[in-house]
Structure 1
Amino acid sequence: MTAFSRNDRTTVGRWFWTIDKLLLSLVLLLIGCGIIAVAAASPAAAHRYSGGSIHVDELHYFKRQILWVLAGVPLMLGVSMLPIAWAKRVSIGLTVFFIGCLFLVPFVGAEVNGAVRWISLPGFQLQPSEFLKPVFIVTSAWLLSVRFDDKSIPTMQLSFGMLVIVGALLVKQPDYGQTALFAAVWLCQAILAGMSLTVVGGAVLTGVGGLALAYAFVPHVTLRIDKFLTGGGDTYQIDRALDCFKAGGLFGAGPGEGQMKFKLPEPHTDYIFSVIGEEFGAIACMMLAVLYLAIVVRVLLQLLDEEEPFIFLAAAGLVTQFGLQAMINMAVNLKLMPSKGMTLPFISHGGSSFLALSLGMGLLLALTRRNRFLKSSPYLTPLRSVS
């Protein structure tokens, strides 16, 4: 027996009958897996960053993650209730705001591990690029969709110009991984919006040329690529990550029984997938990868009959960013890609990351809301209006 009647026209009632319950369930399951993963990684992270203190709260990062979940899940659900028009307006406003924050980062940002990417706030470090990702994608989708109504407006160029500005600000930090992710998602959206193959080829060549220049002139990039290709230099991080997978085998050492994780840098963030491999085994890692794939496939299936260009481009971009980020993190942990410093969505510990992902998933849930009982109903009208 459901709590809401199909005739319930309240915001919550309409949300209940139009939300993609399968997609929401998969996301909540992923968040639950993240809580377990952070609980497993928390002791290793606490000991590593305790500064040698004998009084270590081994559940410090686990407790903080619970707080982020308690903040992030309501944020996600609240955003998912937005009508499409408001989701677009909020995204455009936040895009302007967080691009402004990126301009401020070099002047007021805090340096961590040689990069200036965060703005320090009381009890919290804000990473503007994390929050910018989902709203930038929605704003870009809006710009690219305008060309379907008026081809005389250079929206493709305007969207690309916005990408160039964001990319330049990210390279300044430096954050080449996020720059590549922004560019890849934008290119995917532009192709779906009808970018010519000639321009696509030019964009790809430009990206390859940019990577070659970074390799030639940026020591940080050169070092990471050389370590990946030759195995030379300091490979401590990836070696410890692979040791975790070897120690875990197929079924894992058991919850709380992992030992290699205590030698692993960033066990609660960048390399949490390796902690999962040690404590829960390769089978659990494969199941987690399947869960990410299920979320991506579910969204793509929802978009097969989507006729509104803005909704199609925005949802496609958001799920591409989500899937790519997960794939990159897992590939880095398995030594299939050079280290990127990118979190595993909804699994890694982190305030900016979790809240930004909650914002992005809330937008995706709002974009994929459908009335599955009636082809025409009062519930559908406010969702499909994109003016």
Structure 2
Amino acid sequence: MTDVMRSEAGGRGLRGKVEERLGRGNRSPLGLWFWEIDRVLLLLALLLIGIGLVAVAAASPASAVRYSDTAKSFPPMYYFYRQAIWVFLSIPVMLVVSMMPTLVARRFALTGAGIMLVLLAIVPFIGDEKNGARRWIGLGFTQFQPSEFLKPFFVVAIAWLLSLRARDPDLPLFPITMALTGLIGGLLMLQPDFGQTVVFVTVWVTMLLIAGTSPKVIGALGGVGLGGIVAAYFLYNTARMRIDAFLFPDPDKAMSDHYQTDMAHAVITGGGFTGTGPGGGIVKFKLPEAHTDYIYSVIGEEFGLIACMIIAALFLALVVRVFVKLLDEEDAFRLFAASGLAVQFGLQALINMAVNTGIAPSKGMTLPFISYGGSSMIALSIGFGLLLAFTRRNPYLKRSPYSVRLNRP
């Protein structure tokens, strides 16, 4: 009995120390962060990152074989080891950004948007060329893609501009945000990067819709977008080649976009519902970019279509969680910024999965937190850190879903 009592006392003592350090009465920055952060969102992000490490480990041997030659040979787990390093660096970045107060996070994002916009403008001139595109700036040991970092910063910048309507309803925010989006789209087309252009424009239109822009304006933008795609087909070689390769495949062209999507479909269905098991995939060795753009297909072959459905459900749960949490948000800026970041995150995942399943043409877009890539991992961690910062809530603050006020920047 004495041993039991001592054990219970020890347990209460341990719990007491934890409650003392991270209890709701703790007003330290770490204590406030622990109780204000959305721990479900954080758990979903960490779960996706963990799945990503397993997926990169599965895809690494195929990519190592494909990119090895007589001059340079990569070990089978080369990409996995590098991705583990990027994850080790990215998680602390995400946590630090999530601890920023709203004002600090906004200033950080606006400053980053300005810097990345300048870098995006010079990429076509100094960037490293890969597969006929200049999207990366070489840093010696790795490559840096400004457009990946600009995406979350762009969302915050648009959110800040839209939130200014409460101060001055006469501000021409629609043409200002349209000009900014058009500038970024033009710079991306120079690289060329049609897929990222679609993401920026779609996120901008969605944020306008959330901000209460007239349905007539949204409809007009839809018409302009349709006309833009038609014009791009006739005037923009990259868009025309992508659309032609997808709609009118050439069976004699082994490395066409349609070849890649067809091969991705063959890989993702190669394992059936339960998969071949870790390391058991064979068709993945024929797949270009198995560790980046088509990692979702590798997951399908080795872990089954059930695993693919679970991953899709995790992305959906993350986006839904954000929007449910924002139902009673009273701050216009936080509402626009968090919803825009959730849309950007979910849209990128949706496009990647659509390409892997053959629904959409190849766009060279990674699957968030799962695909291999240093720029992508760090940029997504910054973006998700901002999302966590803007969804932090005082647990004692009572809110009503019917008292939303969009009158604060």
TM-score (norm 2): 0.90
Mapping of 1:345-364 within 5 angstroms?
345-364=368-387
The question of 1:332 aligning with 2:355 is answered: yes
Distance 2:191 2:397 in 1: 50
Structure 1 ranges of 4+ moved more than 4 A: 52-55
Distance 2:302 2:214 in 1: 48
Distance 2:398 2:38 in 1: 16
Match of 1:167 among 162, 180, 185: 185
RMSD of aligned residue pairs (Cα, Å) = 1.6
Distance 1:252 1:374, change over 3 A: same
Match of 1:191 among 209, 212, 222: 209
Paired residue secondary structure (1:258): coil
Mapping of 1:1-387 within 5 angstroms?
1=15, 2=18, 3-52=21-70, 55-233=73-251, 234=256, 235-375=258-398
Name stretches of at least 5 consecutive residues in structure 2 with no aligned partner: 1-14, 400-407
Kindly state the Cα deviation for residue 150 of structure 1 after the two structures are TM-superposed.
1.0
Paired residue secondary structure (1:304): helix
Distance 1:341 1:348 in 2: 11
Distance 1:341 1:54, change over 3 A: closer
Q: Which moved more, 1:209-218 or 1:15-24?
A: 209-218
Paired residue secondary structure (1:111): strand
Distance 1:12 1:253 in 2: 44
Q: What amino acid is aligned across from residue 280 of structure 2 in structure 1?
A: E
Kindly state the Cα deviation for residue 375 of structure 1 after the two structures are TM-superposed.
4.1
Distance 1:246 1:158 in 2: 46
Kindly state the Cα deviation for residue 123 of structure 1 after the two structures are TM-superposed.
0.8
Q: Which moved more, 1:4-13 or 1:319-328?
A: 4-13
Per chain length, whose mean CA-contact separation is higher, i.e. which structure has more relative contact order (CA < 8 Å, sep 6+)?
Answer: 1
Distance 1:11 1:54 in 2: 48
Paired residue secondary structure (2:359): coil
Kindly state the Cα deviation for residue 236 of structure 1 after the two structures are TM-superposed.
2.2
Paired residue secondary structure (1:270): coil
Distance 1:148 1:184 in 2: 24
CA contact (8 A) 2:127 2:138 kept: yes
Q: What amino acid is aligned across from residue 285 of structure 1 in structure 2?
A: C
Name stretches of at least 5 consecutive residues in structure 1 with no aligned partner: 377-385
Kindly state the Cα deviation for residue 164 of structure 1 after the two structures are TM-superposed.
1.2
CA contact (8 A) 2:268 2:296 kept: no
Kindly state the Cα deviation for residue 202 of structure 1 after the two structures are TM-superposed.
1.8
Distance 2:216 2:279 in 1: 53
Q: What amino acid is aligned across from residue 61 of structure 2 in structure 1?
A: P
CA contact (8 A) 1:226 1:232 kept: no
Kindly state the Cα deviation for residue 55 of structure 1 after the two structures are TM-superposed.
4.9
Kindly state the Cα deviation for residue 217 of structure 1 after the two structures are TM-superposed.
2.5
Residues 213-265 of structure 1 show CA distances to partners (whole Å, capped at 9, x for unaligned) of 11112333222212322344533212221121232101000001101111100
Count of residues paired in the alignment: 379
Distance 1:246 1:81 in 2: 42
Distance 2:184 2:268 in 1: 36
Distance 1:219 1:112 in 2: 17
Distance 2:352 2:192 in 1: 18
1:379 aligns with none
Kindly state the Cα deviation for residue 53 of structure 1 after the two structures are TM-superposed.
6.2
Kindly state the Cα deviation for residue 374 of structure 1 after the two structures are TM-superposed.
4.6
Which structure: larger Rg? 2
Residues 46-82 of structure 1 show CA distances to partners (whole Å, capped at 9, x for unaligned) of 1111124695311110001001101110000000000
Residues 168-212 of structure 1 show CA distances to partners (whole Å, capped at 9, x for unaligned) of 100111111101100000001111112222221221111111111
Distance 2:72 2:105 in 1: 48
